[in-house]
């Protein structure tokens, strides 16, 4: 069922909770059925999803399959393959103080999860967390982004036909509806968007002590070292940056390079833009458009007074911004004050790796950091001296295609992680379970009253236990 958030929608949230309390979502068979049905929807409704994404973001069918539908299918396939193993209780050893006993960690679903999806990848970034929450045995309320209205409406129509509508609700709406929805008590809130709204979500969640996963963003930097191959570096930077017209949270936001490295790289970047999008990217069916007029105006404003080295043309009638690269940008430039989230790539000159690390480390921690080099020592140094949600060596953005890697930010770029088994961790509670037989009752040795004899025994036991742990290190 799909509805605007009214008293009826609030009742729908309650109904989803009732389904969870009734145990509907907990059996493994139910979880696998939902995942299989979600996958079937992606296959059977692929054309419709491609059409909605083209309407909202001018994505080509191939890009929609690669970066949206295919990512979700890969996540579902990996989860189905491993879910039974992921859900097995994990045995842990017990100390001598409570032996004989058995201890294990059991994953249990949290309850009702609210997933708030973004507009830039409105299929992938709504359905991957949805799949993870269902795999963990939760009921789910999904709120698609109103800024991708065609995709939101399609998901709202399709999901109730493929998934169990008693335990999964889709609620559409804008800021007012989302604000009201956040007054409901959930067991977990999963939000993808910017840090400003993330703070609003976290504040609302705090009213109910609800845990949150915040997938935010930030200015993901790239350092191109002097030993990097300029041709492959340019190809990968252009692909990673201008995919979805730059509206990607893990897209390279700015490049750090020495003036000489930047000079060598620029002609290859120009050639790469032409190879990928032709002499006139505006005519390319593979280059998307900015999502709405407000975002177009913001991005166009960043180019005021700027002389791009590559690109720079805009067309407000179609919300087109040409793949644009600006060399020699200062750290105080408007291009460096906020996440660009569009097809503009500034290059900032640094004196070398030391300077690049200093620039990165004095700014907010990014969602991703990319290093182009052949030096293993430099890779180790960046890993040691910088902090980021993810780290890519000579490849941007592709880490989210690996189901076994966690996806998430750190600091300003986010809280929490998901994908693969990390989704099960996020949407589950790891319950500690200890079982001790009533016979023999060894605990009598430590019960009060603490006689001199018992006190001596306890002190000797603690000393020997501590000594054994030291020797095992």
The pair of three-digit structure tokens given for residue 350, joined into one six-digit string: 């640094």
Is 358 catalytic? The answer is: no
CA 25 to chain centre: 24
- Are 99 and 151 in contact by the 8 Å Cβ rule? The answer is no
Instruction: Give me the DSSP letters along 315-328.
Output: ETTTTEE--EEEES
Phi, psi of 66 (to 5 degrees): -70, -50
Is 172 catalytic? The answer is: no
Q: What is the maximum alpha-carbon separation in the chain? A: 90
| DSSP helix/strand/coil, 8 | helix
Which residue out of 68, 75, 172, 249 is catalytically annotated? 249
The pair of three-digit structure tokens given for residue 288, joined into one six-digit string: 């998307």
CA distance 175 to 204: 14
- Are 187 and 112 in contact by the 8 Å Cβ rule? The answer is yes
- Are 250 and 121 in contact by the 8 Å Cβ rule? The answer is no
Place of tokens 């990014």: 366
* Pairing assessment for the beta strands 369-372 and 344-349 based on DSSP bridges: unpaired
| DSSP helix/strand/coil, 430 | strand
Which residue out of 177, 215, 322, 412 is catalytically annotated? 215
- Are 241 and 251 in contact by the 8 Å Cβ rule? The answer is yes
Cα angle 403-405-409, degrees, rounded to a multiple of 5:
120
CB count within 10 Å of CB 215 equals 25
The pair of three-digit structure tokens given for residue 191, joined into one six-digit string: 């939000």
Q: Which residues are catalytic?
A: 215, 249
């Amino acid at each position: 069922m799909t509805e605007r958030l009214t008293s009826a929608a609030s009742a729908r949230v309650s109904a989803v909770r009732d389904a969870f309390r009734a145990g509907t979502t907990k059996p493994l068979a139910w979880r696998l059925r939902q995942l299989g049905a979600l996958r079937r929807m992606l296959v059977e409704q692929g054309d419709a999803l491609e059409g909605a994404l083209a309407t909202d973001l001018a994505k080509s069918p191939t890009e929609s399959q690669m970066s949206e539908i295919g990512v979700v299918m890969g996540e579902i396939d990996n989860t189905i393959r491993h879910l039974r193993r992921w859900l097995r209780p994990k045995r842990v050893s017990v100390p001598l103080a409570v032996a004989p006993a058995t201890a294990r960690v059991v994953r249990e679903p949290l309850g009702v999860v609210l997933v708030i999806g973004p507009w830039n990848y409105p299929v992938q970034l709504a359905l991957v967390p949805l799949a993870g929450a269902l795999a963990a045995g939760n009921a789910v309320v999904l709120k698609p982004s109103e800024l991708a209205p065609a995709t939101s409406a399609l998901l709202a129509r399709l999901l109730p036909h493929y998934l169990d509508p008693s335990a999964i609700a889709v609620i559409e709406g804008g800021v007012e509806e989302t604000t009201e929805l956040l007054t409901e008590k959930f067991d977990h809130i999963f939000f993808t968007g910017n840090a400003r709204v993330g703070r609003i979500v976290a504040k609302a969640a705090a009213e109910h002590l609800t845990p949150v996963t915040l997938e935010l963003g930030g200015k993901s930097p790239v350092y191109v070292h002097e030993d990097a191959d300029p041709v492959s570096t340019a190809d990968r930077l252009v692909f990673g940056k201008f995919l979805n017209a730059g509206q990607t949270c893990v897209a390279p936001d700015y490049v750090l390079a020495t003036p000489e490295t930047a000079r060598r790289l620029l002609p290859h970047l120009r050639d790469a833009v032409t190879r990928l999008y032709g002499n006139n990217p505006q005519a390319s069916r593979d280059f998307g458009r900015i999502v709405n007029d407000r975002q177009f105006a913001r991005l166009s404003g960043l180019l005021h007074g700027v002389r791009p080295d590559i690109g720079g043309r805009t067309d407000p009638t179609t919300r087109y911004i040409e793949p644009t690269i600006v060399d020699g940008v200062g750290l105080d430039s408007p291009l460096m004050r906020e996440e660009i989230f569009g097809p503009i790539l500034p290059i900032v000159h640094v004196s070398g790796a030391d300077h690049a690390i200093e620039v990165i480390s004095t700014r907010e921690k990014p969602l991703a950091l990319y290093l182009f080099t052949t030096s293993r020592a430099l890779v180790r140094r960046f890993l040691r001296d910088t902090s980021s949600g993810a780290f890519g060596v000579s490849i941007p953005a592709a880490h989210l295609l690996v189901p076994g890697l966690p996806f998430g930010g750190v600091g300003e770029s986010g809280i929490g992680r998901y994908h693969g088994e990390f989704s099960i961790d996020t949407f589950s509670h790891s319950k500690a379970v200890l079982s001790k037989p009533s016979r023999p009752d060894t605990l009598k040795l430590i019960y009060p009253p603490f006689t001199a004899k018992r006190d001596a025994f306890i002190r000797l036991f603690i000393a020997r236990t501590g000594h054994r742990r030291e020797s095992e290190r």
